[in-house]
């Protein structure tokens, strides 16, 4: 399984990476991107994650753009998780097509909300499988 996280803050990227390494036990491919531009470049090169976590404010761009890019390119084949520290920001990402939201707490490693939502790698696999079945 390929899982991506897009956020422009290094400490947030590292907290997420630490959380996901704990959950997946090294069984997933975890990719971090510090900009939408870098993520788009990977998509152009054929990258397709199954799950994407996105922040709302990413440099001078917005996570809503990212959701629209993913929905336009892959439809609902990618499960998108809004992962911002602002509740209204997460709700906005849901409005444009994210599948669920998990609040982000800055500077806490591992992220308690991510670890609480996904207790194991099997939880992530089930998420991907249930999302694919909806197609």
Residue 93: which domain range?
Answer: 2-133
Q: Which whole-number Å values give the CA distances from 79 to 59, 89, 107, in the listed order?
A: 23, 18, 25
Total domains in the chain come to 1
pLDDT digits (tens, 9 = 90+) for 77-133: 999 999 998 899 999 999 999 999 988 877 666 666 787 888 788 888 887 666 655
What is the percent of the chain where pLDDT is above 90?
Answer: 59
CATH at residue 90 = 3.40.50.2300
Per the prediction, the chain carries an average pLDDT of 88
HSE-up of residue 14 (Cα within 13 Å, Cβ side): 6
Predicted TM-score (pTM) of the model is 0.90
What single-letter DSSP state applies at residue 25?
Answer: T
Residue 104 and residue 131: Cα distance in Å, rounded? 23
């Amino acid at each position: 399984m390929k899982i991506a996280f897009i956020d422009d803050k290094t400490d947030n990227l590292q907290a997420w990476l630490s959380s996901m390494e704990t959950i997946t036990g090294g069984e997933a491919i975890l990719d971090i991107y510090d900009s939408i531009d870098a993520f788009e470049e990977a998509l152009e090169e054929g990258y397709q994650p199954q799950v994407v976590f996105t922040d709302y404010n990413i440099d001078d761009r917005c996570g809503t753009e990212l959701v629209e890019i993913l929905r336009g390119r892959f439809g609902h084949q990618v499960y998108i998780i809004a992962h911002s520290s602002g509740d209204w920001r997460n709700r906005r990402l849901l409005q444009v097509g994210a599948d669920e939201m998990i609040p982000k707490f800055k500077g806490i490693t591992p992220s308690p909300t991510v670890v609480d939502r996904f207790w194991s790698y099997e939880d992530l696999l089930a998420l991907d499988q249930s999302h694919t079945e909806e197609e």
